[in-house]
Amino acid sequence: MMTIDFYPAPNAAAVRLVPVNDDPNGDDHFILCSLTPPRVSSASTIYTVHEGEDRSGGVYILKVARTEGQIKLLSREAAMYIEKLPGFPHAPECYGFLTGIMNGSKMFGLLLERCAQRALSSVEEPLQEGIRQERQRQTILALCALHRLGIQHNQVGEHNVQHFVAGERTVKILDFSLATLHECQGMAPLHVCSESCGNMCAPQDFSQLCAELSVAEAEYGDLTKEEFDDVRIAAANAAPPPPPPPVHPLAILGRRSKGFFKFSLL
């Protein structure tokens, strides 16, 4: 059986984790040690963990759920990662959906790639104008690609900039706990009114308006209408997502979890 010993604190006892849908033929064993105190939110407790007792291995994110509400959100997010997002370049790699006993109660964990922690927010200013606009363009492209994949994130806007981080080559989108399946109606851009108006106005055909992409364009909205058109067209005409990257040893956890979920993503 594949097992993971997770140490949530330097002097804490190990929590034994196994894949939710375990494969009795596996015999791999991993040790994950928490690096820092976790970040606690209403949806989950988020640990940054190192692989190996000497903490010399790779660094990952482990999202832990213990309450009924947290488990529901984390299970939903795991289903998105395992069923819909493999190989998607704008999402972290998922290494598995796990379960174990922590402080006497059942818990679930979602093990993810650790992405750059630089959020795409205005607090990064001043940035060189070209760099800032390129990040905004990449953010819109990432969201368009997500919508093209048939997923709406549902956490876009000025209060959710922490869900978009600058990776080495592209923008990464984080936290799919509220994501839903979505049929994007043409990804039509907003139109910028004249300077006398100064507002972002919707196209005449409201059936072609995507609310989430409109919010994103308002948030990252100092590109021109023509540049947004170019971004949308590039996303609409993009090639299909590339095949998944080579499987990391931890990634087999995710493959074994596939098929566990019995609920709808809608």
The predicted model scores a pTM of 0.76
Q: What is the mean pLDDT of residues 68-79?
A: 93
Fold of 122-236: Transferase(Phosphotransferase); domain 1 (1.10.510)
Element (H, E) at 40: strand 39-40
Can you read off the two tokens belonging to residue 181? Answer: 């399946």
90 and 170 Cβ atoms separated by less than 8 Å = yes
Q: Domain spanning 3-115+243-257: which superfamily? A: Phosphorylase Kinase; domain 1 (3.30.200.20)
Shortest CA distance to 75 belongs to which of 56, 58, 90, 97? 97
Tokens of 51: 């692989």
How would you classify residue 215: left for phi > 0, otherwise alpha for psi between -120 and 50, otherwise beta? Answer: alpha
| Residue range 1-60, pLDDT digits in tens | 678 999 999 889 999 999 887 655 567 788 999 988 999 887 889 999 988 876 667 889
pLDDT in tens, 18-32: 988 765 556 778 899
The residue ranges of every structural domain in the chain are: 3-115+243-257, 122-236
Looking at residues 224-246, what average pLDDT do you find? 62
Indicate the length of the chain as a whole number: 266
Let me know: does 5 contact 99? Beta carbons within 8 Å. Answer: no
pLDDT of 117 > 80? The answer is no
pLDDT number for residue 118: 59
The continuous run of DSSP H or E covering 109 comes out as strand 105-113
State the Cα–Cα distance between residues 100 and 47, nearest whole angstrom: 15
**pLDDT value of residue 77:** 94
Do the beta carbons of residue 182 and residue 193 sit within 8 Å? no
Contact in structure between 107 and 100 (CB atoms under 8 Å): yes
